[in-house]
Amino acid sequence: MSHGKLIPLSGYKELSNEEMKSRSDDFYQLMRRRRTVRDFANRPVPREIIERCLLTAGTAPSGANMQPWQFVVVSSPEIKAKIRQAAEEVEREFYENKAPDYWLDALGPLGTDESKPHLEEAPYLIVIFSKQHTVTEDGKRLHNYYISESVGIALGFLITAIHNAGLASLTHTPKPMSFLREVLGRPKHETPVLILAVGYPAKDAQVPEISKKQLDEIATFLD
Ligand code: IYR
């Protein structure tokens, strides 16, 4: 077994307790304002902001650092229309026939249905694919590890970066999603995971009246 070269940790600076407290609280205050938005303004967003957010997503840790993700950024109105049409088709089948009552009941507070205008209104759709293996430049296949965990973490970074940049996003998971591979011309070893619609919220955007759990409901401390 060969070991890679190890280098000193650079870029880490220890902070005082005070500073850690205020930074962790500032960040919480920023993040608790994030809402999933379904009504987007049809205004363009500078591409370099999306690029920065994707670079941030790319800093995520991943199994054996294989970075098993591919982000397809769609701003073309024609491709967005194709995605909307195909997504609404599978969603109609989901809402009308496939979804069990308990699932529809759980979605009640969110007010979602098969109509997906945001897929055309949002200036960007970022489609996240996971890679079942990595193909090297010389055509070799490398195994990827902890693919769904790695892609989930990168997605979390992406949603956070987009919110931090002052934009809104919507995680959208049409079921089944395999049409995305064809519409976007991706290879068979890439699996679509999620569509993230990104843009400014519409002026009259509405969101469901829901809340997040308290700390003692989501965390257990064993001292
Ligand atoms: N994919 C459908 C249904 C849906 C499912 C869950 I779980 C949600 O949190 C929201 C929606 C849709 O996007 O409408």
pLDDT for the residue 3 = 75
pTM: 0.95
Which residue blocks in the chain are alpha helix, DSSP H?
17-31, 47-57, 77-93, 101-107, 118-121, 147-164, 179-184, 215-218
The answer to whether the CB of 158 falls within 8 A of the CB of 57 is: yes
| Averaged pLDDT for residues 58-83 | 98
37-68 burial by CB neighbour count: b if 16+ within 10 A, else e? bbbbbeeebeeebbeebbebbeebebeeebbb
Structural Rg of the chain based on CA atoms: 20
> Residue length, the chain?
223
Separation between Cα atoms, residue 57 and residue 159, nearest integer Å: 8
Closest CA to 192 of 116, 125, 127: 127
- For residue 1, name the pLDDT band (cuts at 50, 70, 90): low
Structural tokens at position 166: 């002052």
pLDDT for the residue 175 = 87
pLDDT tens digit string along 147-187?
999 999 999 999 999 999 999 999 999 989 999 999 999 99
| Averaged pLDDT for residues 68-85 | 98
- For residue 4, name the pLDDT band (cuts at 50, 70, 90): confident
Separation between Cα atoms, residue 41 and residue 43, nearest integer Å: 5
Choosing from 35, 91, 173 the residue with most ligand 1 atoms within 8 A of its CB, the one to mutate for a pocket test is: 173
- Tokens 């064993």 identify what position? 222
**Ligand 1 pocket, residue 119 CB under 6 Å:** no
**Ligand 1 pocket, residue 110 CB under 6 Å:** yes
**Ligand 1 pocket, residue 39 CB under 6 Å:** no
Separation between Cα atoms, residue 175 and residue 202, nearest integer Å: 26
Q: Where are the domains of the chain?
A: 36-202
Mean pLDDT across the chain, nearest whole number? 96
Separation between Cα atoms, residue 134 and residue 70, nearest integer Å: 11
Tell me which CATH homologous superfamily contains domain 36-202. Answer: NADH Oxidase (3.40.109.10)
pLDDT tens digit string along 129-151?
999 999 999 999 999 999 999 99
**Ligand 1 pocket, residue 91 CB under 6 Å:** yes
pLDDT tens digit string along 61-71?
999 999 999 99
